[in-house]
Amino acid sequence: MTASAAILPNEKELFVRMAEGDQAAFTKIFDHYEPRIYPFVLKITRSELSAEEIVQELFIKLWTNRAAAKKIENPRSYIFRMATNRTTNYLKTMARQVRIVEKATGQVVIERNVTEEMVDLKETEELINKAVQQLPEQQKKVYILSRREGLNADEIATKMNLSSKTVKNHLTEALHTIKERLQNSPGAAIALIVFLIKNAR
């Protein structure tokens, strides 16, 4: 990766726009930082599930507290500090859970760290599902086979009698359309964040 590739152009301007409620600006910030934050958190937690939850919490917090973004002088340092703080809190919580369980049963049981944010996951999933249902039929089938059934492009191509290239094009268009619809839906910012997290990799 070149030095320039690691820099988000017009970063401070994007943070100001995000502070004013611009979801498109937020999406650009997410698209730039998620692939950098996730490996950082994963290396520390060594758990894909925990890393995804921590990153999801981070970006939800960034959006819900967006009014403060205008005052951020160094966005990169700010975001990585958020990641560091949340990961540290996660490790402390896990250690505390282990001590409690060990004391009570003498066994080490690590339970999933549940995200405690003001998010109604049922409503969020409904918004995403609604966007999926509005896709053209083939795009919808490709998206469901890929994201919900876990098939790769070649497997979908065989199942639907399409070329792998066509499958990839359908999936790209489906992801773009869903993201655009969520981004333009009033009050759907959190659903957009959850969708981005789930489809980032």
Fold of 121-198: Arc Repressor Mutant, subunit A (1.10.10)
Q: Tell me, what amino acid is at 173?
A: E
CA nearest 26: which of 55, 69, 57?
Answer: 69
DSSP classification of residue 150 = -
- pLDDT recorded at residue 99: 55
Range(s) of the chain covered by CATH 1.10.1740.10: 4-105
Average pLDDT over residues 156-183: 87
Task: Describe the crossing of helices 75-105 and 48-64 by its angle, rounded to 10 degrees.
Answer: 130
Residue 2 CA to residue 4 CA, distance in Å, equals: 5
Burial of 33 (0-12, 13-18, 19+ CB in 10 A): buried
Q: Which CATH architecture has domain 4-105?
A: Orthogonal Bundle (1.10)
Greatest Cα-to-Cα distance within the chain, rounded to the nearest angstrom: 57
* Sign of the dihedral through C-alpha 129, 130, 131, 133: positive
Question: Above 50 in pLDDT, residue 166?
Answer: yes
- pLDDT recorded at residue 192: 62
- pLDDT recorded at residue 91: 78
Query: Higher-confidence residue: 42 or 107?
Result: 42
- Say which range, 26-30, 65-69, 129-133, 189-193, has the weakest mean pLDDT: 189-193
Question: Above 50 in pLDDT, residue 108?
Answer: no
- pLDDT recorded at residue 3: 37
Question: Tens of pLDDT along 109-142?
Answer: 444 444 444 344 566 677 888 888 999 999 999 9
Question: Tens of pLDDT along 26-64?
Answer: 999 999 999 999 988 888 887 888 888 889 889 988 998
- With tokens 């949340």, the residue in question is 86
Residue 188 CA to residue 127 CA, distance in Å, equals: 8
Q: How confident is the model at residue 18 (pLDDT cuts 50, 70, 90)?
A: very high
- With tokens 């094009």, the residue in question is 169
Average pLDDT over residues 80-106: 68
Question: Above 60 in pLDDT, residue 103?
Answer: no
> What is the CA angle 42-21-120, rounded to 5?
60
Range(s) of the chain covered by CATH 1.10.10.10: 121-198
